[in-house]
Amino acid sequence: MLDDRKLAVLKAIVTDYVASREPVGSKALVERHQLNVSSATVRNDMAVLEEEGYITQPHTSAGRIPTDKGYRLFVDKLATVKPLSGAERRAIQTFMTGAVDVDDLVTRTVRLLAQMTRQVAVVQYPVAQRSTIAHIELVALTTERLMVIVVNSAGRVEQQILELPSHDEGILATVRVKIREATVGKAPADAAGALGMMLDGFNHLERAIAVPVISVVLELLASEPTSQVVVAGMPNLATFGSAFQTGMRPLLEALEEQVVLLRLLGEVSGDRDITVRIGQENTAQGFQSTSLIASAYGPSGDIAANLGVVGPTRMDYPSTIASVRAVARYVSRFLLEG
């Protein structure tokens, strides 16, 4: 266990290195921080911290920089989250006010996060977990072609065109009404079960229409929502080019891959607080030299989605955590009230 003085030295090293981007020496720590000990004592403490793996010396005769382990201890025990100022809170509200739909909300959110944190922002589209069937429509394009439309309570629309035997509007109207009665207001799984049991309720002429229509509706109900992740702030990476040990190219390539981003965000815990993953804690390809600060968002129990920022391990954790938390809470309120 590290004593309080060594923890104070580690905190000072992290703070100075994030601010200066230069290795930190014992003399600088004594001059800038009220450690109330000599440079020799600080050097001894730094030697212990290095032996324990919390800091490292990048070059001979240079100062020390934090390791992933040092950043982890700093985040878990030493960092104090910086509260947002009144001006920052008002800026969030102003920036987000006026979003007209989910697309607009996600676009505003990812831009806001990138601007506030000066990192790369990633926002996953919200996916309803307890959606129900809001509407089913059967639209006759011709006497032998039909468009089947399924709309869920989250506003997601699925549609498909199918070929049918020649039919009249009266038969189609009957099939439409019965399918709606069996599905609207139900969860997709329950609606699918009801559809599978209702064929006996149709006469011979109606069945010729109902069977292919129900088959298509079942296909649409079974389709999984397509997860999407929106990225903003890529130019911010230029500021930290030398901070990525494996180079920037693998990171840029990873940020362009939806599957990789979904895996990255999938590692975020499902609770409502902040998750911080540092360096090698990120198992997603291309992100081993980065830190991820992320949060789930959305009305509790109804929406499953995450948002966050990616940047070098040398980042301002207190301020970034505060920004991600504040934006996630604002977006959650927007979705709840919307």
pLDDT the model gives residue 129? 57
Domain boundary among 222, 243, 278: 222
Weakest mean pLDDT among 43-57, 71-85, 240-254:
240-254
pLDDT of residue 224: 53
Please give the pLDDT value at position 304: 66
Provide the CATH number for the domain around residue 22. Answer: 1.10.10.10
Mean pLDDT of 164-181: 87
How high does pLDDT run on average in the chain? Answer: 87
* Same domain, yes or no: 206 and 168: yes
pLDDT at 184: 93
Looking at 158-167, 196-205, 224-233, which range is the least confident one? Answer: 224-233
**Is residue 52 domain-shared with residue 148, that is, in the same domain?**
no
Q: Can you give the pLDDT at residue 232?
A: 96
Write down the pLDDT at residue 315.
93
What's the pLDDT at 95?
87
Q: Same structural domain for residues 33 and 144? A: no
Give the pLDDT confidence of 230-262 residue by residue, as tens digits: 999 999 888 876 666 566 788 888 888 887 888
Q: Choose one of 222, 255, 281: the last residue of a domain.
A: 222
CATH code for the domain in which residue 194 is found: 3.30.390
* pLDDT digit string, tens, across residues 272-288: 679 999 999 988 888 88
pLDDT at position 15 over 80: yes
Is residue 316 predicted with pLDDT exceeding 90? yes
Give the contacts of 123 (CB within 8 A, at least 6 positions apart): 106, 109, 110, 113, 229, 230, 305, 307
> Does 328 lie in the same domain as 239?
yes
pTM for the model: 0.72
Mean pLDDT of the 61-65 span: 84
Residue 184 sits in the same domain as residue 204: yes
What pLDDT score does 283 carry? Answer: 83
Asked whether residue 200 falls in the same domain as residue 310, the answer is no
pLDDT value at 161 more than 90: yes
254 and 327 belong to one structural domain? yes
**Res 202 pLDDT > 80:** yes
Using one digit for the tens of pLDDT, what is the confidence trace for 24-45?
Answer: 999 889 989 988 899 999 999 9
Are residues 242 and 116 part of one domain?
yes
Cβ neighbour number for residue 142 with a 10 Å cutoff: 9
Last residue of a domain, one of 198, 222, 246: 222
Residue 66 is part of which domain span? 4-78
Strands 120-124 and 127-128 turn out to be unpaired
Per-residue pLDDT tens over the stretch 288-304: 889 999 998 887 655 56
The DSSP line for 155-205 is --EEEEEEE-----HHHHHHHHHHHHHHHTTS-HHHHHHHHHT-GGGS-HH
Amino acid (1-letter code) at residue 54: Y
The stretch 93-110 carries a mean pLDDT of 87
In the predicted model, is pLDDT for residue 225 greater than 60? no
